[in-house]
Chain A
């Protein structure tokens, strides 16, 4: 059974236009999947449906055997502990230290009181330092996050998601605010998450070349629908034209017919 199944997923925010429509795909454990598409295509919305940061309107998302849309509050929290999330703007608490931010990833496993009082076990703290070391920012552990560079902050974000011991990590444009060097560092780390730890990664990207060189598989979104789904090596110019709508306004189905 695949780790993640998306069935006929549909989503709209304000009843007017559909942001996502009729999405179907499955993701196996250990896959590195990129989602590409122009801005406004619905990439962020798709990721947020997976951990139900936005409510699912139509169809279903089945993660690890559980239908995410049907969970109650407590069950949803439990499922979310298994889903890491990485953001374009890192989404750290800027005034807190690196190590505190990393440990925030453990809240899902704690009672409210334990979390509020900041009670973490020695094992958790050791794990946090281990991750910081692995990501090469151990020496910044006690610095405030707002004193770090963008690339370093994103690595804190990665550490925060990994300390959750997730089965999947959702990355929403993780390198969109970074320079090429920092981007490479981050993408390499993400790749190693999948390769070394066997954790599935779904990465929203807008750089096609990076998506092609890092991922096993690419899904192309356009206007809330899937227009490409296949191994990265099969993504060609005509697909990207279609994904980014650089040529015609024709609907995906028609274009596919034309291309055949």
Chain B
């Protein structure tokens, strides 16, 4: 297959998925009576509200333990979604990479799963999963998990393809088995990039978790939603502030880890 047809087919794939997303989103909006347009339209307003109410009062500070608990729950859920997603993505990327792929069918399967889960936004996944799992933490976790699998599979395939094919060839020539080659030639070479992608995924998931949480009624997103709906803007400010702080801390931490590894 040449590059042109590949690009064209990828374009069609993307168009297909966009239509699918729109369809599913409309369908789920219709079924659950959830008006997404209205939801989005209120966000700038909420922003304005938060700006004008960005005062963390004594009273709202009393809610800090609850907020921190929810925040921790959200962070842990994001990490869990990332680590489990990593495990699945690792095997999918082995199938999907040219260097380590064994059968064409598996490769196609892996790349299909990757693009299907990646090209559908996490929020859409949350909406889709809401239908089958209802409003609970499993839904939130699954939405993040599916998104992580898609993104990480794609990123890992690239890392593995980039890692030199040459050591793989050498180990194959010594009579090494498939998994000896994977763990002793491929993984050591891809490790820094892979860890970097995993850290990036954790950051992204923590950010996404808030949004997903609002939709699925779990974690810090739910807390945010609750205070917002009960007009407790001081508490909303505190929630927002703690999310921002958490994201910054996680980002600093992962930057540090990246520096140490590479």
Question: Within B162-210, which residues are at the interface with A (CB < 8 Å)?
Answer: 164, 166-167, 169-180, 183-185, 188-189, 191
Question: Within A66-106, which residues are at the interface with B (CB < 8 Å)?
Answer: 76-81, 83-85, 87, 89-96, 104-106
A164 in the interface, Cβ–Cβ < 8 Å? yes
**A110 and B189 within 8 A (CB):** no
Partner of A81, one of B166, B172, B175: B175
**B170 and A92 within 8 A (CB):** yes
**A53 and B172 within 8 A (CB):** yes
A223 in the interface, Cβ–Cβ < 8 Å? no
**A107 and B177 within 8 A (CB):** yes
Query: What residues of chain A lie closer than 8 Å to B177, measured between beta carbons?
Result: 77, 107, 111-112, 115
Query: What residues of chain B lie closer than 8 Å to A96, measured between beta carbons?
Result: 184, 188
Range class of the B interface residue count: 20 to 34
Query: What residues of chain A lie closer than 8 Å to B180, measured between beta carbons?
Result: 107, 110, 112, 115-116
**A91 and B169 within 8 A (CB):** yes
Closest partner residue, chain A, to B178 (CB atom): A112
Query: What residues of chain B lie closer than 8 Å to A34, measured between beta carbons?
Result: none
A82 CB → nearest B CB, Å: 8
Query: What residues of chain B lie closer than 8 Å to A116, measured between beta carbons?
Result: 179-180, 183-184
Query: What residues of chain B lie closer than 8 Å to A112, measured between beta carbons?
Result: 177-180
Closest partner residue, chain B, to A48 (CB atom): B173
Task: For the complex of A and B, list the 10 residue pairs with the smallest distance between their C-beta atoms, beginning with the closest.
Answer: A108-B175, A80-B175, A107-B176, A115-B180, A91-B170, A91-B166, A85-B173, A77-B175, A81-B175, A93-B167
A residues with CB within 8 A of B: 51, 53, 76-81, 83-85, 87, 89-96, 104-112, 115-116, 118, 157, 160-161, 164
B residues with CB within 8 A of A: 164, 166-167, 169-180, 183-185, 188-189, 191
List 13 A-B pairs, Cβ < 8 Å: A76-B175, A81-B174, A85-B170, A92-B170, A93-B184, A93-B189, A96-B184, A104-B185, A107-B171, A107-B176, A108-B176, A111-B177, A112-B177
